[in-house]
Chain A
Amino acid sequence: MTQEPDATVPEVTVTAETAASQHTRIDVSGAAAAPMAANRADTQTVFHCDGVHVYYADFLALRNVSLNIAAHEVTAFIGPSGCGKTTFLRCFNRMNDLIEGARVEGSINYHGVELYQDEVDPVEVRRRVGMVFQKPNPFPKSIYDNIAYGPRLAGAKRSELDDIVERSLTRAALWDEVRDRLKTSAYGLSGGQQQRLCIARAIAVQPDVVLMDEPCSALDPIATGRIEELIAELKTEYTIIIVTHNMQQAARISDMTAFFSVQANEMGQRTGELVEYAPTSLIFTNPDDPRTEAYITGRVG
């Protein structure tokens, strides 16, 4: 493997309560997020974002986002459609590079490294910051090869692969269901199983962070429940950022919640912005911003 996540992240098990108690409300209106990061232990912060703007060609999709992502926590991005939460998520592993004309301004700092400087190899970024997509997208290969694909690229030896596959599938709570048919096509799995396979595939390369873009939106409630349990377990090892349309889901599984909203300018272009970023318990019980309150109580969006 090319990396040892444990070398960069200390082995601290952060429970939801202690994590929440460490946070105070974060003012996102100005540059106040920067001193916030300095106050906390540096190793706790995985991503430090300051003044992030995202453009698609001339179109400003996301304006001036500043927030910090803490290690071994689940951070949820919520907000109405078109508010830029998925766009922002895809900044963390430079997935937006793949979109012609997409441009990121501002600072996204990952363990002290500016992600958007020229010397950074996006391929290496994506090995450390894995991703699970909205629709389950297994490779058209066997279950085994789906998991082994990433480690093989990273240079894992053939003899290690069996172990990696078993460990990843076990971690994704899928091993017992597929152990007898590892060599069969991944397309033979149900939707929920496919999504757990994709999670197993993402963690097989031992990333530091796992990004999840509405991972349950294509799944039934039972499969959703299993994925949520899985996320709760995975955060002991990984930092998780999840975009969700489901506010109950955000409330159930996340430690921190960022609420994004969208504003149209006079030309009708809709630009997303971060409204409020706070511990989940605060966002859902005592939101600061009236727009957040309106959204979570279901009056808009």
Chain B
Amino acid sequence: MTILTTPAGIATGAADALRKRPGADVAGATFKWLLIGATVFATGFLAVLLAVMIVDGWDVLSGNLWYFLTHGFSQRSAGEAGVWQGIIGSLQVALVTGVFAVPTGVATAIYLVEYAQGNRFARIVELNIRNLAGVPSIVYGLLGLAVFAQTLRGFSGGTTAIAGGMTLAAMVLPIVVITSVEALKAVPDSLREAAYGVGATKWEVLSRQVLPAALSTILTGTVLALARALGEAAPLILVGAATGFMSFGDANMLETFTGPYTALPVLIFNFARQPGADWGVNAAAASVIILVLVLAVNGLAIYLRNRFERQW
């Protein structure tokens, strides 16, 4: 850097000093290419995974997809087996998970942010909840087996979709709480003050200003948590979804919640365990189906978010 002292010096040196020099910001350019490389690696990895699954499962996906989607599990041959029970089971489990995790989680977050307002108790609870989000899912499976399937047998009916859903609810609850807490904290205090300033009660401030403002973020976090629950196999295997069998018989929709159940990830696990290449095709095809299901759920999240954001 040249120190320019006199006006004459500034004038004569200007053209030279202002000229672009190649290589002036090598670090910045390098960093940019590193970032691009990381992005390509991350998305490329997913693309390869997806491609491999589609190629491996192509026989099922292209040939008898409808049969595969609408028929139940069969141990006799890979060609006879389908994922119908898994789809229904996963949706049931996800529904139970949502029913238990969402109201509880959002309510917890509202209490922590709006009522406890960062007092010592709230800080301790929040810290613990953040730690709980890191607990391996298999541990929740043990909890589910001990508490939801056995202690609460009278309510859940044993190792049923209800017990499985409650287990996953316990697992995703910390995620729901944390995303909701962040969503509520992101609502600016100026909005709360504006509402209090015209004579709103706490309930009116919460229900008409804070929650609507935080809703899109809460919804997004909640649905993402449900998507994670949809993909879990380990805890469900512990809480009774291991058989891969589910006979509907004459059972109505409500009764299936309290009978034997299975879920898509558990089915994939079962398919993959069977000997023979054609079972592998089934596993790959079922993986594509669960991906589509999760994508559909995420799409719903985006739709809901956009819908609620447009309201103002």
A103 to B195, CA, bound (A): 22
CB atoms of B197 and A154 under 8 A apart: no
A137, B196: Cβ atoms closer than 8 Å? no
- CB contacts (< 8 Å) of A202 on chain B: these are 197-198
B104 located at the interface, meaning its Cβ lies under 8 Å from any Cβ of chain A in the complex: no
Please measure, in the bound complex, the distance between the C-alpha atom of A149 and the C-alpha atom of B208, giving whole angstroms: 10
Name the contact of B197 in the complex, choosing from A93, A140, A141, A185 (C-beta under 8 A): A93
**CB of A205 within 8 A of chain B?**
yes
What are the residues of chain A within 8 A of B213 when measuring CB–CB? 140
Contact A131 B197 (CB under 8 A): yes
A130's contact among B191, B192, B197, by CB below 8 Å, is which? B197
What residues of A have a CB within 8 angstroms of the CB of B200 in the complex?
123, 149-150, 153
- Tell yes or no: B128 within 8 A of A by CB: no
Give the residues in chain B near A196, CB-CB below 8 Å: none
A201 to B213, CA, bound (A): 19
| Residues of chain B within 8 A of A44, CB atoms compared | none
Contact A127 B199 (CB under 8 A): yes
A272 interface residue (CB < 8 Å to B): no
* B residues 117-146 touching A (CB-CB < 8 Å): 117-119
Q: Name, among A126, A127, A130, the residue most crowded by chain B CB atoms within 10 Å (CB to CB).
A: A126
| Residue A138 CB within 8 A of the other chain | yes
Name the interface residues of A214-247: CB closer than 8 Å to any CB of B.
Answer: none
In the complex formed, the residue of A with least CB distance to B188 is A137
Chain A positions within 8 Å of B119 at CB level: 100
Q: In whole Å, how far is A261's beta carbon from the nearest beta carbon of chain B?
A: 26
| B199, A150: Cβ atoms closer than 8 Å | yes
Chain A residue contacts of B196, Cβ below 8 A? 95, 98, 126
Give min CB distance, B269 to chain A, whole Å. 46
CA distance A38 to B195 in the complex (A): 36
Q: Mark A116-151, 1 if CB is under 8 A from B, else 0.
A: 000000011011001101010111111000000110
- CB nearest to B312 among chain A residues: A140
Q: Are B194 and A138 in contact (CB under 8 A)?
A: yes
Residue B190 lies at the interface, judged by CB distance under 8 Å to chain A: yes
Complex Cα distance, B193 from A93, in Å, reads 11
Contact check, B193 vs A139: say whether CB atoms are below 8 A apart.
no
Does B258 sit at the interface, judged by CB under 8 A? no
Listed residue (B193, B194, B196, B198) with the most chain A CB atoms within 10 angstroms of its CB: B198
CA distance A133 to B119 in the complex (A): 26
Interface flags for A89-107 (1: CB within 8 Å of B; 0: not) read 0000101001010000000
Nearest chain-B residue to A128 (Cβ)?
A: B199
Chain B proximity of A144: nearest CB distance (Å): 12
With both beta carbons as reference points, the residue of chain B lying nearest to A187 in the complex is identified as B312
Residue B243 at the chain A interface, CB threshold 8 Å? no
Judged by a CB distance under 8 angstroms, whether B201 is at the interface is yes
Report the minimum CB–CB distance from A222 to chain B (whole Å). 24
Interface membership of A172, Cβ < 8 A = no
The residues of A that contact B191 with a CB separation of less than 8 Å are: 137, 139-140
A residues within 8 A CB of B270?
none
* Closest chain B residue to A145, Cβ basis: B312
Contact of B201 among A123, A140, A187, A201 (CB under 8 A): A123
Q: Tell me the bound Cα distance from A150 to B312 in angstroms.
A: 17
- For residue A198, CB closer than 8 A to chain B, the reply is yes
A100-B118, A139-B209 known; A150+B193 contact, CB < 8 A? no
Interchain CA distance A150-B195 in the complex, whole Å: 8
- Is B204's beta carbon under 8 Å from chain A? yes
Are A98's CB and B198's CB within 8 A? no
The answer on a CB contact under 8 Å between B192 and A98 is yes
Contact A137-B201, Cβ < 8 Å, known A100-B117, A185-B312:
no
**Interchain CB contact under 8 A, A126 and B193:** no
> How near does chain A come to B172, taking the closest CB pair, in angstroms?
29
Nearest to A147 among chain B residues (CB) is B198
If A100-B117, A100-B118, A100-B119 touch, does A133 touch B193 (CB 8 Å cutoff)? yes
CA–CA, A98 to B194, complex, Å?
12
Contact of B198 among A100, A141, A149, A185 (CB under 8 A): A149
Contact yes or no, A124 B118, CB < 8 A: no
B163 CB, min distance to chain A CBs, angstroms: 41
Question: Shortest beta-carbon distance, A152 to chain B, in Å?
Answer: 9
Q: For window 152-196 of chain B, which residues contact chain A by CB distance below 8 Å?
A: 188, 190-196
Q: Which of chain B's residues have a CB closer than 8 A to the CB of A126?
A: 196-199
- In the complex, residue of chain A having the shortest beta-carbon distance to the beta carbon of B194: A137
The answer to whether A139 and B197 touch (CB under 8 A), given A133-B190, A185-B312, is no
CB of A201 within 8 A of CB of B198, answer yes
Bound CA span A114–B195, Å: 24
Residues of A near B190 (CB, < 8 A) are 133, 135, 137
User: How far does the alpha carbon of A124 sit from the alpha carbon of B200 in the complex, in Å?
Assistant: 9
A-B contact pairs, 13 of them (CB 8 A): A100-B118, A124-B199, A126-B196, A126-B198, A133-B194, A137-B193, A138-B194, A139-B209, A139-B312, A149-B198, A150-B200, A153-B198, A154-B199
- Among all A-B residue pairs, the 3 with the closest Cβ atoms: A150-B198, A127-B199, A137-B190
Instruction: Given contacts A126-B196, A150-B198, list 18 more A-B pairs with CB under 8 A.
Output: A95-B196, A98-B192, A100-B118, A123-B199, A127-B199, A130-B197, A133-B194, A133-B197, A137-B190, A137-B194, A139-B195, A141-B312, A142-B312, A149-B198, A150-B200, A153-B200, A201-B198, A202-B197
